[in-house]
Structure 1
Amino acid sequence: MAPEAHEKAQHTVPQLADRTPTITGREIVAELVPPPQFEHASFENYRPDHDYPSQMTAVEKLIEFVNPRPAGFFSRRRQAKEDLPGIYLDGGFGVGKTHLLAALWHAATGPKYFGTFIEYTALVGALGYQETIKELRSAKLICIDEFELDDPGDTMVMTRLLGELVATGTRVAATSNTPPNSLGEGRFAAQDFLREISAMSANFETLRIDGLDYRRRNVSGQAVSVEPEAREHLVNTLLQRGSKVTEDDFGALMRHLGTVHPSKYVKVIRDVEVIAIRGVYLLTDQTDALRLVAFIDRVYDAEIPIVASGRPLNEVFDDEMMAGGYRKKYQRSQSRMVALTTGELPPHTD
């Protein structure tokens, strides 16, 4: 018997591809809180890069947003800007946008919700539009991480939803990771975001946050790929220790992700401590690539390390993708793949 077959015969390794979870609207609402690594995020423990003053300026503006000044006759002109019900964090990946968004959520009084764009659109899909309005209407603050422009239909649903919530007193804070490639410097442009939600643009103050990717400051620039024998040995060692590890063929995992809505990825990886992947290869289909980005985001949120063999994970996107309109999404995912495979998850990220 070949060594790899012998190892597999010793242990039945669970697979993520065997997991087809369901998720209800109520479960989604219950999960609308910051992910674990931002459980204690605050303005105080945000670590700004002092080479980029806009990072500290963003902290000051967000503190003002969560603690608006009382209105007064002599402050009307100033209050007109400061009392805008929406604030939008515009900047590169890894500069602390998600940390700041979570810090804002923690500092605000409830009811309040924090979730990704995908989670909110999934909530509409699960409950229906009107029921979603009823669930969220009492919120004092809605935080939306990774506002997407990938799907115009979803974007307009969210525009309408936020418009109704703002009209009843809800305040909104958002970040985005979807930059059109033509805008230069790999950054998302606030004006394109505002054009997509033109009916609400006057409600948002835009904060530009410049800086370097925090993960690139702390980890090497390459995802770790291990030899198949080393991966198999590690998986079996972990199983012997009682660790909750899964192992999947990369192609099979990609096909499975295509059958599961991204809002359910969080349940696909639930209770997993280590993810092993074999046979990583170059992706040439953009739909698959975007699914992988969404999956890696959830793995990163859950702080689950990845052990992979084959092509280094951060090299799975082909040249056409890396030169296309979703370039920044892929770059951000590459950065997270490096952190996940090197075991160096930083305390301050997006």
Structure 2
Amino acid sequence: MKQHYDVIIVGGGIIGNSIAYQLSKRNKHVLIIEKDGLNEKASSAAAGMLGAQSELEGDNPLFQLAQKSRAMFPELAEELQSLSGIDIELKQSGILKVAQTDDERAHLESVAALQQSMGQEAEWLSAEKIRMKEPELSDAALGGFYIPNDGQVSAPLLSQAFAQSAAVLGTDILEHMNVDDFLQEDNRIIGVKTSSDSFYAKEVVVAGGAWSNEILRKAGVSLDVHPVKGECFAVRHDQPIVSSSIFLENGYIVPKSGGRIIIGATQKPDEFDQSVQLQGVSGLIENATNIVPALQEARWENAWAGIRPQTGDGLPYIGRPPHVNGLSIAAGHFRNGILLSPITGIRVADLLEDKPIDAAFAVDRKPLETITT
């Protein structure tokens, strides 16, 4: 393996892989370094919802970024399949955000009206209409906010497709290799030191998800990114139960191919432990079967947990830290890493070409603590 690259990406999850793909398309020589295996953390744990309107409700920079990213998926799916042979299982079957209390109903009706006023496709469905659309919903569903343009993909397949497509275009990938330190010269990052060797690049991009802060401390930077553990489980049913992804205040139900259904997710801040606890899963089961009773007949498949990267203000970081040249960051996408992966790859590639990007996601939008290593 060679030692000199245009860009080194620290982190082989969906964000790092998307960045590598976009840079490779621009003829950059890229190396991905991943401390575990590719796509073993949050990228493989996600349900894959593209909830540009269901996750994000108002007109703000993240909402606009999500709209742009969602619109990229149809063309991206064809591109990635052509290069990697992987079908990312894009389904534009809509997301139904269900109200289970009077307060939720009032809130979701207002959100539907707001998004309609913004020119977004959104429809409020009464309790009667919601059950016409999804007959298996129980009487606990008091109405729903239907978003036809939100959809889903297979998160593991999307991340694999990014990585394999990047590799086809020339990206090198180094798995099971920890970055021990950053190489610096004249206040500029010039590469990284691993347990086996040193690698050099014009730019190093940290895309380590919930572990990004731990990585960045080695470069003398502290970032406001913290872990949020999310537990999920999967079941199978011989008959289709729901056609749309069901989004609840306390979880979600996402139908996949082959009768598989993913149900999630708990939110446990500041936990890196990836074990699954009975308390978390039992709560998810109760929530899901309360709204879709037919799930009680489904067969158990497996359960898992993912560690999602959250930031203090809820916005991801896409940019460069002040006073440290040669270093870029893409981290803190929380529950929207799958949705935002296409646009994040493009924005980081633009950043490395010194093109202007949205200041709302700048690394220095809040003061960063500089630490001594």
TM over 0.5: no
Question: Normalised by the shorter chain, which TM-score bucket?
Answer: under 0.3
Between Structure 1 and Structure 2, the one with more helix by share is 1
Q: TM-score, normalised by structure 1?
A: 0.28
Q: TM-score, normalised by structure 2?
A: 0.26
Between Structure 1 and Structure 2, the one with more strand by share is 2
